[in-house]
Amino acid sequence: MQSDSGSLIAKPRSRLFAFAALPNFFKLVTRLVPAFTIVGIVAGLAGAAVGFLVAPTDAQQGEAYRIIYLHVPAAWLSMVLYVAMAMWAAIGLIYNTRASAIMAIAIAPTGALFTFLALCTGSLWGKPTWGTWWVWDARLTSELILLFLYIGFMALHASFDDARRADKAAAILAIVGVVNVPIIYFSVKWWNTLHQGASIRLTEAPSMATPMLIGLLLMTLSLWAYAAAITLQRAKCIVLEREREAAWASDFAKEL
Amino acid sequence: MHWHSLQEFLFMGGYGTYVWGSLLVTTGAIASESWLVRCRMFRARQSVTVVAARQ
């Protein structure tokens, strides 16, 4: 295709597309991982200090409420990571960009881990506050379905020998499964559930004490930064595994 | 500081098992995932080096 300047090389539609090339993607990710790691560690230490040492006792739930500093960020992440995975999978399908498909594959294990943590810490919260480890209510059941969707995505991808065919098949499952995310989020509104409503709403001022809110936001920042760092690091691994024959991969592997 | 003693902090008003259990599961999961990704990166780098040496 001839561009305006007369060159036979097509200009990329956006600067972002430059990162669809795996060497550029690898270089960018290598720069981002340490930054996210530092943010994760600093925010995690600050959030744990505020949440576990400074924040006051909850009037209704006593000290058991402190589980929210782990449970709420994990639950948010489980949904956000699924949407991110489906978004990258869709971009990979539409534009046939390998870096996007790799991002989707790299997100899945971390998403599954945070879904497991949301369920596990939720159980540890449920026992002292509800008197039971588990109930089949809409929020808990839809979150469990999310875990199965992550596992299904990874299992489907692993069942193909050809990586590109695996990317495409798993992408379709990720896109179809995204319908579960609004169901999880609105389940406490749509159905009569044992699970309480949202802790923080964008449309209303938070009802919790300021140190509680600061602790929660810091822990959220920490776990989100951790998820970004570990996902990008896994994406680097996948790039090296797929491109091990490429000369550039050998140069980058020496630098790591 | 909200707490008056270390015992009070560890006891967590009687919910210590649940609160510290949650923290243990979360930190354990994060440490395990970090370790697994570190091992995977080591193997990926090794395989790139082996292929480069063959070429």
As its CATH architecture, domain A31-60+68-245 has: Up-down Bundle (1.20)
Q: What's the mean pLDDT in A167-191?
A: 90
Sign, CA dihedral A153-A154-A155-A159, equals: positive
Give the gap in angstroms from C-alpha B21 to the nearest C-alpha of chain A. Answer: 8
Give the ipTM. Answer: 0.91
B21/A71 touch (CB, cutoff 8 Å), yes or no:
no
| pLDDT value at A55 more than 50 | yes
The answer to whether A102 and A76 are in contact (CB under 8 A) is: no
Q: What's the mean pLDDT in A17-41?
A: 88
3-class SS at A198? coil
pLDDT of residue A35: 96
Which of A26, A36, A63 is the best residue to mutate to test the B interface, defined by the most B CB atoms within 10 Å of its own CB? A63
Q: pTM to 2 decimals?
A: 0.88
The answer to whether A33 and A232 are in contact (CB under 8 A) is: yes
| pLDDT value at A202 more than 70 | no
Give Cα A159 distance to the centre of its chain: 23
B2/A55 touch (CB, cutoff 8 Å), yes or no:
yes
| pLDDT value at A9 more than 60 | no
Q: What's the CA gap between A146 and A40, in Å, rounded?
A: 25
Chain A residues closer than 8 Å to B51 by CB: 244-245, 250
Of A60-69, A109-118, B15-24, the poorest mean pLDDT is in A60-69
Q: What is the 3-state secondary structure (H, E, C) of B3-55?
A: CCCHHHHHHHHHCHHHHHHHHHHHHHHHHHHHHHHHHHHHHHHHHHHHHHHHC
Of A13-17, B38-42, B45-49, B50-54, the poorest mean pLDDT is in A13-17
Is residue A256 within 8 angstroms of chain B, CB to CB?
Answer: yes
